[in-house]
Structure 1
Amino acid sequence: MKFISTRGKVAPIGFIDMFLMGLGEDGGLIVPETIPTITAAQLKEWSKLSYQDLMFEVFSLYTNNEIPEQDLRKLIQDSYATFNSPDVLPMTSLNDSLHVLELFHGPTFAFKDVALQFMGNLYAYVAKKQNKVINILGATSGDTGASAISSVRGKEGIQICILHPNGKVSRVQELQMTTVRDDNVLNLSVNGNFDDCQQIIKELFADVPFKTKYHLRAINSINFVRILAQSVYYFYAYLQLPEKVRADGVNFSIPTGNFGNIFSGYLAKQMGVPIKQLVLATNENNILERFIREGVYKPEGFHSTHSPSMDIQIASNFERYLYYFNGENAEATASRMEQFKSDGQLIFSAEEVARIQNDMTAYSVGNSECLDTIKTYQDRYNYLLDPHSACGIAAYEGAGNKNDGAFVSLATAHPAKFDEAIRLIGIEQKFPEQIQELFDKPQQQVVVDNAKEEIVTQLEQFYKVNQ
């Protein structure tokens, strides 16, 4: 297994080199040279595996034995030992056809823990093996930052800097990042939105001399290891369904902002999970819905919503999908991304839109519909959704073809992380102890302007102090 760039100008590399590269040095995203496929017989054999053993099987298809089996198994076991459910990702059935896969039982109560706890341990493993200091740099719309910091705080050989949009994440998300006091953690609160933060990160990773000088590594979903780790729960969800229920395949409704969560499902489908529908759930920042419904990929006005982790206009992982949509043609992908950079939009033909809609459907959820869904499902099933998970349920209701069989909707965060929205509909909830105690802790963050030069100055000072 070798890994290449969506833009075709990165020589094929192995698993560890791919993990350390993060963003391709040609500005593209890293993808596997070929996607391995799993037979129905193999899937059946995997049906009795624990989540940890299933992840080992999936990752072993990609790692080229660069990580010895014993070490890989230990990395996986250690990564999920901190989860508060013995099943790691429990599934709740709300009715005969709708099932909710709870992805929020990790240490920061968000689905990002599923991938990032593993990635943090893997970075520590590689740093020790190579005797190097690794500087992790990322942007977050809320959950990635908290989970990434949790995964590497205090670990030897690793420093982490996370950019988040000032005042545009939930209070709990902010506290989970900024109450961490470890010396190897820097929080930069940027006066801008998530897209501003993400653009600066991309520019810094594209600056190869700067990236090389400071050994920058990515923990956002631009890193393919994160996509691969997330793809495992599509296998797991399918295999958790009763055999007679999954016999005809499975459908997923997926809250997504940066296109990573749904691209992980697309990858799982290409690998052999019999997925019939991938329903993309988004909020009022609906560039992805317009792309799928109309064939227009164009950012419009930014909206602050009750689901801030999806308040994103430019979706990083869109390029990975575009690469496969273009028949794995790197030249065509690079050309279209250059066109997007120059024109600020991409327009797809009617024939292309039909192909896109064969891969996935989409549904945009407004603020009021989001809150209505939370209230309806609390009343009907006594099941409390966070706003992002509610977008997934609303998309299932609004765009899912119920005649296609079982649906799994992904619950991406614990409702306690977004209590501001929950309180708007008169619901009071009891916070988990780990969240409640955050409110009494002092914060540590640096507020900066949306300027690459100012952020570079902060980074250089941070790296110098912690060398």
Structure 2
Amino acid sequence: MQYISTRGGMEPTEFCETLLEGLAPDGGLAVPTQLPAVDADTLESWRGLAYADLATEVIGLFATDIPRDELSAMTHAAYSAEKFPGGIVPLRDIDGGITLVGLSEGPTLAFKDMAMQFLGQVMEYALERRGTTLNIVGATSGDTGSAAEHAFRGKKHINVFMLSPQGRMSGFQRAQMFSLTDENIHNIAVDGVFDDAQNLVKALSGDLEFKRAHNLGAVNSINLARIVAQVVYYFWAWLRATDGRGRLEVSVAVPSGNFGNILAGYFAKGMGLPIRKLVLAANENNVLDEFFRTGLYRPRSSQQTLATSSPSMDISKASNLERFLFDLLGRDPQRMNDAWAELDANGVLDLTAELPRLAGEFGFGSGTSTHADRLATIKAVYEATGDIIDPHTADGVKVARDYVEEGVPMLVMETAKPAKFQETITEAIGVEIELSDELREMLDAPQRVVEMPNDERALRAYVSDHAAH
């Protein structure tokens, strides 16, 4: 399996090399030359596998340059009972014919752990194979940062520089990141929104001289290994939701910010997993909902990006959309480059001609959820089942309800544990979630963070001074 860039300027390369690069040298994103196919017999043979073994099978289709026994050792280390004490991806039914896919049982209580724990293993493997160091520069809207830092803390030859938007994360999210004292972890709070932080990361990654001089890499969802690891739980969820029911189609609703999680579902569908609808749930920053409903992609400025009660989705320019647009535009790098030129010139990318294909050929649906919707959904689920869901998952449930079909299981990808968003939970249902002693200690711990203006030069200087070599 080899990988190319969405913009056509990268020679085909293998998984481990793609893993360490982040952005492609031409500024594009790495994509497989073609998705691996999984036939019905193979899919059925996976039904009894434990999660780590399923991960070995699925990831092995993409990481063909890693010996199978070494890959298996990585997946078993990543998906151990110690790392996921609440079980690995449990499914639970709620009201309205909806099943939640439990992705928040890991160390930081968010779905990002599912990919990041594997990424911590495979990046260390790839660095040892190459005999080099890596300086990870990433941006987070809330959960990616803590998942990355907990996956890479204390690892030799890896430094993490994680940018977050000042005042835009929950107190719990800040504590999970800023309370870490490991010398290889650097938290940087940028004066701006997530898109500003993401743009700074892209600026450094796009400067090939600086990138190579400082061995820069990425762990947010521009890193293809994150997407590949997330593909696994779509197969896992389908196998459990359809147990004893054959090749039944399911629909999946996904709370979406940077388009990485739902892109993994799109990959799974393209590999042959029987997915009927991929339903994108947006919050008030509903650029992607507008695109899938109208064919117009209209990213908003930092000033227009709203601070909401589902903060991990407060994103107005989704990096991973490029990987989907590459397919939509016939996998033609010139059309991809022309599309971005049109967007830069006009502030909008008009793909209305492709609109019928979005819902038809590609099977996407979408919808928007507001703060009032989140509160009402959290309350309705709690009253019906006693289950408390976080605000992002509530966005997913709210939008999923419009796409439920008779005889088609509707799965909603859970985003995080509700304890991370206590203020919204209290507003919705008046319940104070009891925290463990360990979590209370984390919330009370001193925090270590560097505040920085939205300034590329300041970031360059900081990374240069603190990079591992």
TM bracket (short chain) = over 0.9
Segments ≥4 residues shifted beyond 6 Å: none
Q: Which residue of 1 aligns with 2:390?
A: 386
Distance (Å, rounded) in 1 between the aligned partners of 2:432 and 2:394: 17
Distance (Å, rounded) in 1 between the aligned partners of 2:368 and 2:423: 21
Q: Which residue of 2 aligns with 1:459?
A: 463
Answer yes or no: is the 8 Å Cα contact 1:276–1:404 preserved in 2: no
Q: Indicate whether 1:319 and 2:322 are aligned.
A: yes
Q: Indicate whether 1:69 and 2:65 are aligned.
A: no
Q: Which residue of 2 aligns with 1:115?
A: 115
Q: Which residue of 1 aligns with 2:38?
A: 38
Answer yes or no: is the 8 Å Cα contact 2:86–2:105 preserved in 1: no
Map 1:126-137 to 2 at 5 A. 126-137=126-137
Distance (Å, rounded) in 2 between the aligned partners of 1:277 and 1:242: 16
Map 1:68-217 to 2 at 5 A. 68-81=67-80, 82-85=82-85, 87-94=87-94, 97-217=97-217
Distance (Å, rounded) in 2 between the aligned partners of 1:368 and 1:275: 30
Flag the 1:39–1:390 CA change in 2: closer, same or farther, 3 A: same
Q: Which residue of 1 aligns with 2:21?
A: 21
Answer yes or no: is the 8 Å Cα contact 1:245–1:406 preserved in 2: no
Deviations 1:423-462 (A, max 9, x none): 1121211124442221221110000001111111111111
Deviation at residue 245 of structure 1 after TM alignment: 4.3
Deviation at residue 404 of structure 1 after TM alignment: 5.3
Q: Which residue of 1 aligns with 2:420?
A: 417
* Unaligned segments of structure 2, at least 5 residues: none
**Is the deviation greater in 275-284 or in 82-91?**
82-91
Map 1:390-405 to 2 at 5 A. 390-397=394-401, 399-403=402-406, 405=408
Answer yes or no: is the 8 Å Cα contact 1:389–1:412 preserved in 2: yes
Distance (Å, rounded) in 2 between the aligned partners of 1:134 and 1:123: 9
Flag the 1:54–1:96 CA change in 2: closer, same or farther, 3 A: farther
Answer yes or no: is the 8 Å Cα contact 1:50–1:87 preserved in 2: no
Q: Secondary structure at the match of 2:163?
A: strand
Map 1:249-288 to 2 at 5 A. 249-288=249-288
Q: Which residue of 2 aligns with 1:368?
A: 372
Deviation at residue 248 of structure 1 after TM alignment: 2.5
Distance (Å, rounded) in 1 between the aligned partners of 2:241 and 2:406: 17
Distance (Å, rounded) in 2 between the aligned partners of 1:126 and 1:4: 19
**Partner AA of 1:72 in structure 2:** L
Distance (Å, rounded) in 2 between the aligned partners of 1:288 and 1:207: 28
Flag the 1:87–1:50 CA change in 2: closer, same or farther, 3 A: farther
Q: TM-score, normalised by structure 2?
A: 0.96
**Partner AA of 1:412 in structure 2:** T
Distance (Å, rounded) in 2 between the aligned partners of 1:244 and 1:152: 39
Answer yes or no: is the 8 Å Cα contact 1:136–1:219 preserved in 2: yes
Answer yes or no: is the 8 Å Cα contact 1:186–1:445 preserved in 2: yes
**Partner AA of 2:423 in structure 1:** E
Deviation at residue 246 of structure 1 after TM alignment: 5.6
Distance (Å, rounded) in 2 between the aligned partners of 1:239 and 1:51: 11
**Is the deviation greater in 307-316 or in 127-136?**
127-136
Distance (Å, rounded) in 2 between the aligned partners of 1:83 and 1:95: 30
Deviation at residue 243 of structure 1 after TM alignment: 3.0
Distance (Å, rounded) in 1 between the aligned partners of 2:127 and 2:45: 35
Distance (Å, rounded) in 2 between the aligned partners of 1:70 and 1:131: 21
Q: Indicate whether 1:302 and 2:305 are aligned.
A: yes
Answer yes or no: is the 8 Å Cα contact 2:391–2:424 preserved in 1: yes
Q: 1:436 aligns with which of 440, 446, 459?
A: 440
Corresponding residue pairs, total: 462
